[in-house]
């Protein structure tokens, strides 16, 4: 079985694969100070709860946008599983697609994994939207070449800035407003309308501009925790694929093993 770990700025997602099927997944808050020993205590317990043993794992791969976490995950792999981990984008697991931008080395691992999986699973020109700490928009042509993208503040970052820089505005939950009205009648509703519908309008506008610039039909693939929430309130997505990033890791691991 394959253990894959996607280290983001907010969370680390672990997934256990048997072939192409995800058998279990777990999420833990990202903390660069968390040691390999701490990861092991947490992860081995969860494996047991799900009915697996650490000996079931024969391959480990991880990708990280938090460089300080790399060493600790390598310690976890070698000390507790007796495996040298694959690191996405390095060594035996190159991205495998052309990166046609000014500074190819600056493409984040999470964004590259989305490109790997999207091109593997879907045909034609693609726009991939990933709702994470930041919201990333990627443009791939029909050959799988990465042509560039957009980085925007994630909706939670936007809300944090709004609440943190004002004295009287309350903390609100991110959810769809109860009505389609964009004229709020109290402070909380007005904030929710501004944050939620403002974000939908930004997202729809940027995707349409990307489509216009691409000049060919482009399928829009959405991933990340808030993709389903937004999908219920916009027609802009063609596909919602919640596991796209972690599936990119499995694809790279399979390539390395073949």
Per the document, the length of the chain is 258
- Whether 110 sits among the annotated catalytic residues: the reply is yes
Ordered alpha helix ranges (H), 13-170: 36-49, 68-75, 81, 109-121, 155-164
DSSP 8-state assignment for residue 54: G
Check 6, 31, 110, 189 and give the catalytic one. Answer: 110
- What is the end-to-end Cα distance of the chain in Å, rounded? 15
Contact 4, 23 (CB under 8 A): no
DSSP 8-state assignment for residue 193: I
Q: How far apart are CA 90 and CA 220, in angstroms?
A: 28
Contact 213, 86 (CB under 8 A): no
**Cα 77 → chain centroid:** 22
CB atoms within 10 A of CB 92: 12
**Cα 1 → chain centroid:** 22
CB atoms within 10 A of CB 87: 19
Catalytic residue positions, numbered: 110
């Amino acid at each position: 079985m394959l253990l894959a770990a996607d280290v983001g700025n907010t969370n680390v997602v672990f997934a256990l694969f048997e072939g192409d099927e995800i058998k279990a997944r777990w999420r833990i808050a990202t903390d660069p100070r968390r040691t390999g020993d701490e990861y092991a205590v947490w992860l081995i317990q969860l494996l047991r709860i799900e009915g697996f043993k650490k000996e079931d794992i024969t391959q480990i791969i991880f990708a990280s946008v938090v460089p300080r976490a790399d060493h600790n995950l390598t310690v976890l792999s070698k000390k507790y599983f007796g495996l040298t981990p694959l690191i996405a984008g390095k060594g035996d697991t190159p991205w495998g697609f052309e990166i046609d931008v000014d500074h190819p080395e600056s493409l984040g691992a999470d964004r590259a994994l989305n490109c790997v999986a999207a091109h593997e699973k879907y045909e034609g020109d693609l726009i991939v939207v990933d709702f994470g700490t930041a919201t990333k928009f990627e443009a791939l042509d029909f050959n799988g070449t990465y042509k560039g993208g957009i980085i925007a503040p994630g909706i939670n970052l936007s809300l944090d800035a709004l609440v943190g820089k004002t004295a009287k505005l309350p903390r609100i939950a991110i959810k769809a407003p109860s009505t389609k009205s964009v004229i709020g009648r109290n402070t909380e509703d007005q904030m929710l309308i501004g944050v939620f519908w403002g974000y939908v309008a930004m997202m729809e506008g940027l995707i349409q501009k990307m489509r216009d610039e691409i000049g060919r039909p482009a399928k829009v693939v959405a991933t990340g925790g808030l993709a389903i929430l937004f999908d219920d309130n916009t027609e802009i997505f063609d596909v919602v694929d919640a596991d796209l990033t972690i599936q990119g890791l499995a694809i790279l691991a399979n390539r390395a093993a073949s």
